[in-house]
A and B are shown apart, each in its own frame.
Chain A
Amino acid sequence: MRRQKARDAIVAVTVFGTLLLLPPILPFFDRSVTVGGVPLIVVYVFGVWLALIVAAWALSRRLPMDAPRRARLDDPPTDQIRGEGAD
């Protein structure tokens, strides 16, 4: 259940991140306002960017691990990887 949530969350983060960084939302912040001396649009773009990174970092440890695969790919195939986790 928790994994499913993390998977859904990564979808949401990616989709919302994309929407936030594209018109028509983006130009909304393109106005002559400054935050601590920095134009709003710059703060916004880099802020969303950083938020995406933090979200990806937080979610990366919650997403299910892939089943341990053969140590080296040129080892002969073993049957144990049959039927491993679906996506």
Chain B
Amino acid sequence: MLSANAVLFTALAYVALLFLVAFVSDLRSRKGWLALVRSPVVYTLSISVYCTSWTFYGAVGSAARNGLEFATIYLGPTLVFVGWWFLLRKLVRIGRIHRSSSIGDLISSRYGKSTSLAVLVTLIAVIGTTPYIALQLKAVTTSFQVIADATGTSLLGIPTRDLDIRTGFWVAVGMAVFTILFGTRNIDANEHHHGVVAAIAVEALVKLFALLAVGLYVVFWIAGGVPEVFALPTSAAVLQGSDTFGIRWVALTFLSATAIVCLPRQFQITVVENADENHLRTAGWLFPLYLFLTSLFTLPIAIVGLATLPAGSNPDMFVLTLPMQHDQSALALLVFIGGFSSATSMVIVASIALSIMVSNHIVMPIALRLPRRSAGVSGDVKALLLVSRRISIGVILLLGFAYFVASAKSDALASMGLIAFAGVAQFLPSLIGGLYWHQASKSGAFAGLLAGVLTWAYTLLLPSFEGGAIPATFFERGPWGIAALRPQALFGAEGVDPLVHSLFWSLGVNVVLFVAVSLCREQKPLERLQATLFIDVFRNPADNEARFIRRSAAIDDLYVLAQRILGAEQAHRLFRDFARKQGSRDDLPQPDTEFIAHLERQLAGGIGAASARVMVSQVITGETISLEELMKLVDETQQVIEYSQQLESKSQQLQTTARQLREANQRLKALDAQKDDFLSQVSHEVRTPMASIRSFSEILLSDADLSHEQSTRFIEIIHNETLRLTRLLDEILDLSHLERGELTWTLEPVDALAVLRRAVETCQGMADGAAATIAVNGETGPVEVLGHGDRLAQVFINLISNAIKHNTGPSPRLDIRSSVADRRLIVDVQDNGPGVAAADRDRIFAKFSRTWASDRPVTAGAGLGLAISRAILRRMNGTLDLLPDTGQGACFRVVLPLRQTTGTAVGPAAGEQL
């Protein structure tokens, strides 16, 4: 049978187990066996410190009151972790490179290592976290109370009415002892608490196991299956909240997404305790899965609890009271331990995170400003830090306890979780702005944070004390009766959910001031440097810092400083390692700027960036921040981005150009081949007449007995051949001039039809000789084109004579038709010969087309006629084409544009290509 005492001893045994786990892990880690402690699974489990007792017990309560709304608390973090690649990865990288010891440290470091900013962040964190710790204490004591009440037993004989205070106190003491033992063991340059992380991971498993166990029990034993749960009448009541999915849903999702990043304890676990950046890869899906499993049974437990437990039972305790109702002592005990786990893990990590912040950002700056008591002794700063952290842990837990006592009788605590979320959400603008916006300045961050947090305190924190220290009229009528200043209806924004209302005003004021002040105020050089190092963290390793800050110091001073903060042993190791890296055999490195930067980062890991900077500044001389280098770096980064974009477009351009070049090359190759062809054909054409001239002249020379008649015939042949040669050469010259556009004839108005008639007349004799008839039809009137009369005649004569010469039909006939259409003159020369073979159609316009070479008469041209004609027409902006074969002989078509009557015709482009 369950009794309060049994529960107490189980809890103590559980705490002993945690001590053991933490102790063994610490021992292992110091011996270097980190395999298990530094695994991604342990890392993920430790992140689940997010799930406190507020979610362990309270999620069911929330589900009982607002249905699915409880899920928002998990959906926000799920989205942040699924998108880990963008925010968390950068955060972790920066945290590791700059040795951020807390979220305050990271923000202050980003904004020029500002002490004041660190103090502000620390105060906000303390204000936001203390009530949260009180909430955990309340959860544990309430669970004790529930068991004590239900079992009718008393805890160590303490009367029930005192129970909560006393248990609360002892729970706080126990947690303080654990935290001090394992959380402040050392001032580690890494700030890794392996023992604590291992213990938190174990607690994560315990609370998940407890929730799953009670969930399975409730669903399958009590209700008898999943559909049965949702068939209960309370199911509809739970799920049909009037406006679950309204603005509050959005606000809560946003708030929980913010909290998983901004809560000091989450920062501690996710960033500071991160042992390997690639662990995020696993956490990116495993942590959402953890949250998923955690909330899987929340709804069923709430539904079944509402249906089976007596009316008026506290829904926040359904997880515990349901198994007790059914006398499942072991299960109830497990649930109690689970809730206890959630509370302790949150308190431990939160108080460690806060103590680091308090000691680094508040105690250290004060100590540094006090007049020096004596010359620094080795390890004195370290000792001061350790003591201040231990004291802060005690004080923080004491504060939490005090808050718990003060509000024990009110329900204020229940809403404390979301109030704390909204408080730390004020970090968001400065944090995100700091990671992605170069202009974000310290003044902007400070103004935004301060105004945001004041608004939050006024609109959300203050109302939580309603009825206590502050009279209710204050909220109803506003301070001094000014209605516009009512905390929950600022400037008349009435009827809004208080949380949404506060979130809107506080974050709104925060962002506006942050941006506006950042834009107005100039950044200091150090701020600008830190901004660049943070924002471009994936491009500029922090080692680059040495490029910008030049400073020098005596190595002895640095060594003393390091010893004071890190202790003799660590300082020695640090200096020796760096000396080795510099290639020195001595144990002391050269105190160059690179070393000083490295040392400052190491110290920052222990005491925070702002304090480290102050302390290092005390021993160095002649610090200059090279603005020029800094600007160069910014420019370089910009350039890299621009270059990569340019490169991309350039490479596309290059591809296009390469393709065009390839095509041009192919064309050139074809042209080259054509030229070779042309040359060889010219040689061939020249060779034939030359050969006959040579042979006949040889005969004439060698044979003196030739008759006059014979010699006259031979000379005639020679004469004819030279004529043919001359004509050939003339034509070649003509063509090349035409093609190069060098021919010096001008375009003038010409009556093309008159030219055509003249050409027909010229060819009439030839036609008669071949017994061919020529018929001219079509246009009769003058048709003016821009051209050259003789040249145009040459084209027509060439076409007509070709048609006569190549017409081998029995009754050769030519049809010449002219027409005007579309402001163009069209002349078709059609014969009834055999036509042009399909294979030759493309070639006949080429030079020396061999088509007609075989049976060419001596008087014929050299096969250049059509090529020349085409070139001539092109000069006149006209075309010459062979029309598609119709089976009735060949038909060539000349097309010439008519002369523009209003303006002058456009001449051909000079140097027109082939």
Chain A positions within 8 Å of B, measured between CB atoms, are 7, 10-11, 13-14, 17-18, 21-23, 26-27, 30, 34, 36-39, 41-42, 45-46, 49-50, 52-57, 60-61, 63, 65-66, 69, 72-79, 81-87
Contact = CB atoms under 8 A, between A and B. Distances in A.
B250 interface: yes
B748 interface: no
B83 A14 contact: yes
Contact of B68 (A10, A45, A60, A66): A45
9 contacts: A14-B86, A17-B78, A18-B79, A22-B253, A52-B288, A60-B281, A66-B93, A69-B96, A78-B581
B75 A76 contact: no
Contact of A21 (B75, B83, B96, B225): B75
A76 B253 contact: no
Given A10-B85, A21-B253, A37-B231, A82 B577 contact: no
Interface stretch (B53-61, B538-546, B671-679, B874-882): B538-546
Interface in B225-240: 225-228, 230-231, 235, 239
Contact of B78 (A7, A49, A73): A49
A79 B284 CA distance: 30
B226 A38 contact: yes
Given A52-B78, A76-B598, A77-B543, A10 B83 contact: yes
Contact of A76 (B190, B250, B539, B577): B577
B433 to A, nearest CB: 18
A41 B602 CA distance: 51
Contact of A37 (B71, B230, B539, B543): B230
B249 A26 contact: yes
Given A34-B230, A49-B71, 9 more contacts: A10-B86, A13-B82, A23-B249, A26-B245, A38-B226, A53-B285, A55-B82, A77-B542, A87-B538
Nearest to B71: A45
A67 to B, nearest CB: 10
Contacts of A78: 581
A14 B278 CA distance: 19
A55 B83 CA distance: 11
A50 B292 contact: yes
B299 interface: yes
B578 interface: yes
A48 to B, nearest CB: 9
B289 interface: yes
A56 B82 contact: yes
A67 B538 CA distance: 11
B99 A60 contact: no
B288 A84 contact: no
Given A45-B68, A76-B578, A87-B538, A63 B281 contact: yes
Given A39-B239, A56-B81, A66-B278, A49 B75 contact: yes
6 smallest CB-CB distances across A and B, nearest first, come from: A37-B227, A14-B83, A56-B285, A57-B285, A76-B581, A87-B538
Given A73-B96, A74-B190, A84-B541, A30 B245 contact: yes
A26 B253 CA distance: 13
B277 interface: yes
Given A22-B253, A52-B288, A7 B277 contact: no
Nearest to B281: A60
Interface in B746-771: none
Contacts of A73: 96, 99, 189-190
A81 B253 CA distance: 38
Contacts of B282: 60
Contacts of B190: 72-74
Given A38-B230, A76-B578, A53 B288 contact: yes
A65 B227 contact: no
B79 A14 contact: yes
A27 B242 CA distance: 11
A38 B288 contact: no
Nearest to B544: A82
B246 interface: yes
B227 A17 contact: no
A22 B239 contact: no
A72 B810 CA distance: 102
B75 A60 contact: no
Given A23-B250, A74-B189, A82 B82 contact: no
A30 B577 CA distance: 63
A10 B88 CA distance: 13
A81 B541 contact: yes
Contacts of B542: 77
A82 B543 contact: yes
A43 to B, nearest CB: 10
B700 interface: no
Contact of B288 (A23, A49, A86): A49
Interface string B97-129: 001000000000000000000000000000000
A52 B284 CA distance: 10
A38 B299 CA distance: 11
A74 B602 contact: yes
A83 B543 CA distance: 11
Contacts of B231: 37
Contacts of A36: 226-227
B193 interface: no
Contact of A81 (B83, B288, B292, B543): B543
A46 B96 contact: no
Contact of A60 (B226, B250, B285, B602): B285
B261 to A, nearest CB: 14
B661 interface: no
Contact of B278 (A56, A65, A81, A82): A65
Contacts of A86: 538-539, 640
B288 A87 contact: no
B636 to A, nearest CB: 11
B90 interface: yes
A21 B537 CA distance: 32
Nearest to A30: B245
B377 interface: no
Given A13-B82, A37-B227, A56-B285, A42 B299 contact: yes
Contacts of B250: 22-23
Contacts of A42: 68, 230, 239, 299
B296 interface: yes
A17 B82 contact: yes
Nearest to A76: B581
A75 B577 contact: yes
B577 A87 contact: no
B292 A53 contact: yes
A17 to B, nearest CB: 6
Contacts of A77: 541-543, 581, 598
B574 interface: yes
Interface in B197-243: 225-228, 230-231, 235, 239
A11 B85 CA distance: 9
A85 B90 CA distance: 13
Contacts of A87: 89-90, 538
Interface in B244-290: 244-246, 249-250, 253, 277-278, 281-282, 284-285, 288-289
Given A23-B250, A76-B578, A84-B541, A39 B235 contact: yes
A38 B578 contact: no
Contacts of B89: 66, 87
A79 B539 CA distance: 13
Contact of A53 (B235, B289, B605): B289
A27 B189 CA distance: 50
Interface string B523-553: 0000000000000001101111000000000
Contacts of B253: 21-22
Contacts of B598: 76-77
A14 B230 contact: no
Nearest to B276: A69
B620 to A, nearest CB: 19
Contacts of A72: 190
B82 A66 contact: no
Contacts of A69: 96, 277
